[in-house]
Chain A
Amino acid sequence: MSWSALDASLEPPDPALSRGRRRLVLVGVLFVALFAGLGLRLLHLAPEERTAEAAPEPAPVEPLRRRPDLLDRRGELLATDVPVPSLAVDPLQVGDPRRTAERLARIVGGIDPSVLERRLVKAKAAGRRFEWVAHRVSPAAERAVLEAGLPGIVLRTSEHRVYPKGHAAAHLLGFVDIDNRGLAGVEHALDHGRLSALRDAREIALSLDLRVQEALRDELGRAFREFRAIGACGLVLDVRTGELLGLVSLPDFDSNLGGGARPEQRKNRCTGGSYELGSLFKVLSHAAALDSGRVRVGQRFEIPPALRIGRHTIRDVHPARRPFTAAEIFSHSSNIGTAQMVFAAGGAEPLRAMLGRLGLFERAPLEILEIARPQVQKSWPDVVTATVSFGHGIAVSPLRFAEAVASLVGDGTLVRATLLKRPHDAAIEPGPRVASRRTVEDLRWMMWLTVADGTAKKAAVPGYLVGGKTGTADKPGRGGYRRGAVLASFVGVFPLDAPRYLVLAIVDEPKATAASGGTRYGGQVAAPVVGSVIARIGPLLGVPPSDPAVEARYKERWSAMRPTAAVATGGPRLAALDPRR
Chain B
Amino acid sequence: MKKLLLIAILFVGSLFAQVKGDVEVPYISYQIKMGKGFDAVQANCLMCHSFGYIINQGPQSRDFWAKKTEKMVTHFKAPITKEDAEIVTDYLFKYYGNGKIK
Q: Do A and B bind each other?
A: no
Query: B interface vs A, CB < 8 Å?
Result: none
